[in-house]
Structures are given as C-alpha cells and as structure tokens.
Amino acid sequence: LLRRAAQLHRERRDELAKIIVREMGKQIDGALGEVDFAADITEYYADHIEEITADAPVPIDGDGTAVIRKAPLGVLLGVMPWNFPYY
C-alpha cells in the first residue's frame, strides 16, 4: 500500500502540485518539490518497513526472553503545518 501511495503521487505529480498552487498560492517549483518529497518519504517507509516494525529484544535479568513488538493500532494522524499539505 505504501508503494502504491508513492506511485500515485508520482503519477499525479502535476495535478497534485496545481491543487496546492491554486488553493494555497504556493509556487509551482515548491509544490512539485513537496509532491516528490511526500512520495520519497512514503517510499522510505516502504523500503524500511521490516526494520521499523521488527521485534526489539529487551535485555532481562535471569532466564527467559522479552521483546517489544510493534503492531498497528489503526489510523495515524499527523498534524502538519498548513503550508505542507502532502507532507
């Protein structure tokens, strides 16, 4: 899903940039850069998902093992500056 989201940003780059030029008054170069940056960030997470979500061993005293397991809980909300809507 992450790779597909990045692919859609790249496929619709010009269209997405024009939206923030029209709605925010952002310069076209900055708008294109933001679309690219958002796609790059999404691809980064797709490329590193295994290490980001990997179990992390926890050292303990005595016998046994313990790990921190990361599991998705639902929708993620990020509050970002108004001037970087795709980021």
pLDDT in tens, 20-50: 999 999 999 999 999 999 999 999 999 999 9
In DSSP terms, which residues pair with 68 in a beta bridge?
56
pLDDT at residue 82 in the model? 75
Using CA atoms, how far residue 3 sits from 35, 47, 69, 72, in Å, is: 14, 9, 23, 18
Using CA atoms, how far residue 10 sits from 4, 22, 32, 63, 81, in Å, is: 10, 19, 10, 51, 22
- For residue 82, the 8-state DSSP code is T
Asked whether the predicted pLDDT for residue 67 surpasses 90, the reply is: yes
Q: How many residues does the chain have?
A: 87
